[in-house]
Structures are given as C-alpha cells and as structure tokens.
Structure 1
Amino acid sequence: MTNVSVEQQLIKQSKPGGRFWRTFLSQKYLYLMSIPFVLWILVFNYLPIWGWTMALQQYRPGLSFWDQQWVGFDHFRELFHDERFFAALKNTLAMSCMGLIAGFSIPIIFALLLNELRAPIFKRVVQTVSYLPHFVSWVVVAGIVSKMLSLDGGLNTILVNLGFIQEPVQFMAKSSWFWGIVTGSDLWKETGWNTIIYLAAMTSIDQEQYEAAKVDGASRIRQMWHITLPGIRSTIIILMIMSIGNLINIGFEKQFLLSNPMVADKAETLDLYALNYGLQLGRYSFGTAINIFNSVVAVALLFTANTIFKRISKESIM
C-alpha cells in the first residue's frame, strides 16, 4: 500500500477530526520541525511552574518536597503588608509607564522618518548606527551614562560652556530624576532595534497607494498619516498588547547598575525587591511569592489589553 493511500485511509477513518489529520498529514514535516521548540517551552517555561509550590512552604534547601513545612498564604500576607513592596511596585509601574509611552511611540516616529529617506545608503547607515547600542550590555551602557552625567562629564561641560548652568549638577544624585535617566538610557539603547519590525511592516504596503496619493496632491506628511500608519496598524496594536502584558516585568539590570545609595528609594523595582529581600536573605519562598504576583499581574494585564483592543479595533493576539 502506498503512502498516499495510507494517508487517505487515515483521513477517511477519522471523520470527527478529519480536518486536523488532513492538515497534519499535509504539513507533517513542519510539525516534526516544531517538536524541539515545543519541548524547549515545556521544559523551561511550564515545568518550572511546579516551583511555585515553594511560595506555600517555608522552603528549606536539602529537604524533600514532602518534608517541607507548609505555611499556606503567609508569605503573600507578609508581602501585602510590607511598605517596601508598595514602594517597589510604585517605582516599577512608574518606570514601566514612562518606558511604554516613550519606548513605544518614539520608535514608530523614528521608523516613519527613516521610511521617508530617499537616499538608500544614508538610510542604511542611519539604521545601522541606531540599532548598534542594542548589542551593548547594560554594564557598558550604565558606565557611559554615569560618566556622561558625572560632575566632569560631557553633559555638564556642554551646559556650563553654553551658559545654561553656572555650576555642574549632580544628575545621578537626584532621586527625582532617576526615572527619567533610566527611561532615557533605555530609549537610547533600544529605539533603533525596535524600529526594525515597523520598517519590515512598511515594506508590505502597496506602493500604488503612495502613487495615487501623490497624484491627488497629498503631502508626505499626509501620506504617512493616511497610508503608512494605517498600513502598520495591526503591527502597532499587537506590539502594544504585548508591551502592556510585560508592563510589570521590567527586570532590574538597568536600575541596579544606574542606582546609588542616594537614589535607592526610586531605583528599587519588584525584581530588585525580590532579590534583596528574598534570595539574598535565603527567603526563597518569599521571593517566589513576589514572582508569582508579577506573573499573575502580567497575565491579567495581557488579557485585559487584548480584550479592550479586540472590542475597539477588532485586533488581538488571541
């Protein structure tokens, strides 16, 4: 019996799932190629969820799972009664919202401007230079920012020479400026990289629309507003939903590297809070409770944003 007849027989024998088997047999090689990635997700994303049980225990390394002391939701109660947790939550949400507004809108504007460049060589040079900082580690970026904003750094030198200030300013010592410094540093590092996906989406726009707009006398700004932006609307919405889902998961690397004792109250995020008052103190169960809170809030934000955009714009990721 040939392979073709075997496949046809399987499809006929599986009437309820005929469509599934038809798709599976016609794309069996794609399914086989996806198996390593599915296993990777299962091993590194789903199996570790078992570790969430530590949040319900007074975890002690070296003891078996059944020998651990179960404490229920005590760690969550302690978490929600800790003023430092709410301070870290405030810092996290503030820097996340600032990063979402600036880090989402500016790459779109930058991509629109790059798309309007008519010199291909100059366009490629600008794009390459703009996304190179993405490959620089935050250790190096923090060193550059700290040096530029120091008393004898480049920014103070320029401002003093231009007469905007009389004496150098300690930018890194002002806690009220820390959120802006972190947002600006992240913007400089990631703007060029984030424009790549928008530029890729712009290549799929039908060029005849621009030709028709030119015939009608539309300016380049009008073309951007009425053709380019609607053409990448789906990409913008999908990335917005995903960005909102990651609103609370901003990490701690840049805050940890750019902070100092004078701005520590504004630099502590939830991840840094989990590191300082969980893992470093050997309170693994308490640190796990913090991470569970982050994950639950992230999932809630993702579904909420997806539902809202689905109702408003009919676009969603689920």
Structure 2
Amino acid sequence: MLVKDKKMTVLKTNNTRKRKWNNYKLFLFAFPMIIIVFIFSYLPLWGWSFAFFQYKPGKSLWNCDFVGWSNFENLFNNLVMRRNLLRVLKNTFGIQLLGYAFSPFPLLFAVFLSEMKSKKYQKFIQSVTTLPNFIGWVIIYSLVNSFFSNNGLVNTILLNLGIISEPFNLMTSGEHVWLRMVLLQQWKGLGWSAIVYFASIAGIDQEMYEAAMVDGASRLQRIRYISIPMLIPTYFVLLIMSIGNFLNSGVDQYLTFGNALNKDTIEVLDLYVYNLGIGSGQISFSVAVGIMKSVVALVLFGMANYASKKIRGTSVF
C-alpha cells in the first residue's frame, strides 16, 4: 500500500512539474511579444510628461518651465480653444457614427461572397476588394481627383451628355464631407474588414446548412437564419474593440483631402492635434489634448464592454 501511495505521489509530482514546464514554455513564446508591446505601447507614455511643461523644441524637457495642469485648463477655460475643440469633436463624432452605420457592410459582403458558386470569381472579387487597403491615401486622392475634378472623367462624360451645364469639383466642395470620407473608408477597407467574417463563416458547422436544406430552406433563408446569426457575436466583438478607437480617426486621409474650403468640417481630433503640434508648434498643448483623447477612449471602451456583458452576456474581457 505504501509503495502504491509513493508511486501516486511521484506521478502527481511529475504531472505538476510537466504542467509548470508547459506554462513556462508558453510564457517564453509570449515573452517577445510582451517586450514589443512594452517598447511600442508603454514606453511612449513617457511623452505624456510634455503636457506638464511648456516645451520648446531644441531644449531639454527639464530646462523647460513646469506648468502643471495649465495646458489641460486651457482646453476648457480658453474660449477659442474650447470652440475649436468642440468643432473637431463634432466632426470626429459625426464621421465615426456615420462609419458605424456602414459597419454591417463587411459582414454582408462576406456572407454574399461566400455564397458564390464559382470559387474562381469569388477569389477574384475578394482580391480586388482587398487591394485598396494597401494603397496609400495620397494615391487614392490622385485617383479620386482624376475622376471628380473639374477636368476629371465624370465631369467630362456628364458635360458631353448634356446632363450638366458646368463642371463641379467634388474634391474642393465643403458639402457632404463626412459622407464622402466614410464612403472612401468603406471602399478602401471593405475587402480587408471582411476577412475576419470569412474566417468565421468557415468555422460554421456545415451540418446546420445541410439540415436546413433538407427542411426546404432557400439560400436567403439559410443566410438569414444561420449565417448572419452565427456572425453576430464576431460583429459585436469587433464593434466593441472599435469603440475603444472611437476618437482615433487617423491623420493621413483627412490631411490629404483637406483644403481651405472644407477645413472646418474635415478637421478631426487627430488632425487637430497634428496641426497644433507640428503646424503651430504648440507641442505641450497638443500632448494634453492627446491625453484627454486616450482617457475618453478608455472610458468609452469600458462602457461598451460593460453594456455588452450586461445585455448580451458576452464581452471582450
């Protein structure tokens, strides 16, 4: 009996050591990524200290005047700064909310593309729609300008057909700027955003489709009652994660398409921070705006995650 107990004890000890070693190996696999995240995501937070100094380029930070919370107070106490901040927040919220209205498009695109019988055309369309994601906004601006400028292809055709009497320049117009920016984003990222849904569709149990076909369900009914409901959890996870980046509109697109006529409606928060720091040299104030943006984004992400957990029972964490 003692021998048997000793063997069981040795076996448990070996299993425990084996589990610890497996966990250690997993940690070693993840360690390089942890280092990368620390270097590129946490070390740059040192730059937040610039918001508490009146930094001047070329001087050491410690040789600059310490101003404490002065730059943050200017966000709300300075009338001009407050008006500009409200304007860019209005643009940011408007463009982002309009983008959320188009967010189901990649899901629907992936579903209908997966229903194509010809795999050859399916791969061709997927490649063509994914390609714009790898094209820079400067090149896209050149393409759009060649189509919609005064001497562009669209104006030339419409003038020759007699549909319009004078050309219109869509690029310099200050009207419907938000919609144009969102439509360009959708065109550029549609195929790339649909990749996640393609992977989810591949993971759906095919027996569900076969059972539905036996019951006489049409293709649209299979899409409505199987494909889309199975993709909804993926959609909400991506939606919650995107809410964390709600204020991160980026700079490239709006800096490229911005001009004097549409500046008031195209300047989003990221472009505003760029113009303050690089354009006007107000580096400390731009860092303060960036910090406030990060705090608001974190709060929005936490609220969205909490709401999803309470309403749907699932969340990111």
Query: Shared fold (TM-score greater than 0.5)?
Result: yes
Displacement after TM superposition at 1:278 (Å): 2.4
Given candidates 47, 51, 61, the residue that maps to 2:47 is 51
> How many percent of aligned residue pairs carry the same amino acid?
37
Q: Hey, what does 1:288 align to over in structure 2?
A: 287
Displacement after TM superposition at 1:264 (Å): 1.1
Q: Hey, what does 2:260 align to over in structure 1?
A: 261
CA distance, structure 2, for counterparts of residue 57 and residue 65 of structure 1: 7
Matches within 5 A, 1:223-302: 223-302=222-301
Task: Say whether residues 1:90 and 2:90 are aligned partners.
Answer: yes
Change (3 A) 1:285 1:314: same
Change (3 A) 1:26 1:237: same
Q: Hey, what does 1:74 align to over in structure 2?
A: 70
CA distance, structure 1, for counterparts of residue 284 and residue 20 of structure 2: 43
CA distance, structure 2, for counterparts of residue 300 and residue 220 of structure 1: 42
Amino acid at match of 2:53: Q
Where structure 2 has 5 or more consecutive residues not aligned to the other structure, the ranges are 1-9
Aligned length, in residue pairs? 304
Q: Hey, what does 2:3 align to over in structure 1?
A: none
CA contact (8 A) 1:60 1:68 kept: yes
Change (3 A) 1:7 1:257: farther
CA distance, structure 2, for counterparts of residue 54 and residue 10 of structure 1: 52
Provide runs of 4+ in structure 1 moved above 6 Å. Answer: none
Aligned-pair Cα RMSD in Å: 2.2
Matches within 5 A, 1:101-140: 101-102=101-102, 104-140=103-139
Amino acid at match of 2:294: S
CA distance, structure 2, for counterparts of residue 165 and residue 208 of structure 1: 55
Displacement after TM superposition at 1:275 (Å): 1.6
Task: Say whether residues 1:31 and 2:27 are aligned partners.
Answer: yes
CA distance, structure 1, for counterparts of residue 59 and residue 19 of structure 2: 48
Instruction: Describe the superposition over 1:221-254 as per-residue Cα deviations: whole angstroms up to 9, x where unpaired.
Output: 1111110012122211110101111111011111
Change (3 A) 1:99 1:64: same
CA distance, structure 2, for counterparts of residue 207 and residue 161 of structure 1: 53
Q: Hey, what does 1:18 align to over in structure 2?
A: none
CA contact (8 A) 1:98 1:183 kept: yes
Instruction: Describe the superposition over 1:289-312 as per-residue Cα deviations: whole angstroms up to 9, x where unpaired.
Output: 011011111111111111111111
Question: Under a length normalisation based on structure 2, what TM-score does the superposition of the two structures give?
Answer: 0.89
Displacement after TM superposition at 1:161 (Å): 5.0
Q: Hey, what does 2:176 align to over in structure 1?
A: 177
Instruction: Describe the superposition over 1:178-215 as per-residue Cα deviations: whole angstroms up to 9, x where unpaired.
Output: 21221111111110111111011000111111111112
Change (3 A) 1:9 1:126: closer
Displacement after TM superposition at 1:152 (Å): 2.0
Q: Hey, what does 2:5 align to over in structure 1?
A: none
Matches within 5 A, 1:8-23: 8=13, 11=16, 23=19
Amino acid at match of 2:182: T
Matches within 5 A, 1:152-231: 152-160=151-159, 164-231=163-230
Displacement after TM superposition at 1:121 (Å): 0.8
Question: Under a length normalisation based on structure 1, what TM-score does the superposition of the two structures give?
Answer: 0.89
Task: Say whether residues 1:147 and 2:143 are aligned partners.
Answer: no
CA contact (8 A) 1:145 1:185 kept: no
CA contact (8 A) 1:146 1:258 kept: no
CA contact (8 A) 1:52 1:288 kept: yes
Q: Which moved more, 1:154-163 or 1:294-303?
A: 154-163
Instruction: Describe the superposition over 1:77-101 as per-residue Cα deviations: whole angstroms up to 9, x where unpaired.
Output: 2123311121111111111112222
Q: Hey, what does 1:100 align to over in structure 2?
A: 100
Amino acid at match of 1:311: K
CA contact (8 A) 2:52 2:71 kept: yes
